Amino acid sequence: MTAIKARGLRKTYGTQIAVDGIDLDIATGEVFALLGPNGAGKTTTVEILEGHRRRTGGDVSVLGEDPGSASRAWRTRIGIVLQTASDAGDLTVAEVVRHVGGFYPRSRPVTDAIELVGLEDKAGARVRTLSGGQRRRLDVALGIVGRPELVFLDEPTTGFDPEARRQFWALIRALAAEGTTILLTTHYLDEAEALADRLAVIAGGVIVAEGTPATLGGRSAAGAVVRWGGDQEIRTDDPAALIAGLVGRGADLSGLTVSRPSLEDTYLSLIGEAR
């Protein structure tokens, strides 16, 4: 089943084109990452899918409804983690989570939502006393407390330290294992590679590539670079055959490495070509 489907999605502001005819399919239970530089159109796309921004053209279906005119019941089926940190003044972490959870028909227990994001030691702390990373964790808790079928995560780990990011990755995998569909935007390519089943790169308002992390932009078919003997290097489509030939000739294979383009290499090439 398809959780998100878009055809010819467009958004313009006067003569400026922000999103220029995007087609998108995200399966139910899939973790999908949307990558792109600032100003590429990814946040606008996500806001349209969330029902927070009107589109100029195209057809969109999210959980079977048009987000531009979706019902209140539809909104209880989605969770949203925005880029901006929450601000609840003098309320405690537990009070904020309990308040937001009250809007959903089958919300998680407050303690469960707080524990999932690693804030159990801060449940009684006032939000204004939290660090930036802790406030981002609270935002994630608010996005998942309602047990949503679909979660939008917009740059969710901004401000996280490495340990917190790894804990967050474990949370995303746990949500995916429950069958939750996740649409993730991130500037961290290692995060996209670790979490996403599929991803797309958007630049200039259009999707320039889509696939799995391993196959994006022809990455899996790209030639490998074989290095050996300190200063020897050859690019080849068949590294196994090359290495076998080197062994047969008795070549010095000290320091042998075989490398293909990283996801970062592929991403930078794609957005460079788009520009």
Residues 199-222 have pLDDT tens digits of 999 999 999 999 998 888 776 666
Q: How far apart are CA 169 and CA 194, in angstroms?
A: 8
Q: Please answer whether residues 223 and 262 qualify as being in contact, where contact means their C-beta atoms are separated by less than 8 angstroms.
A: no
Domain boundaries, the chain: 2-217, 223-259
Using one digit for the tens of pLDDT, what is the confidence trace for 37-59? 988 899 999 999 999 999 999 99
Q: How far apart are CA 191 and CA 171, in angstroms?
A: 13
CATH of the domain spanning 2-217: 3.40.50.300
Is the overall model pTM greater than 0.85, yes or no?
A: no
Which among 91, 36, 67 has a CA at the least distance from the CA of 275?
36
269 confidence band (pLDDT: 50, 70, 90): confident
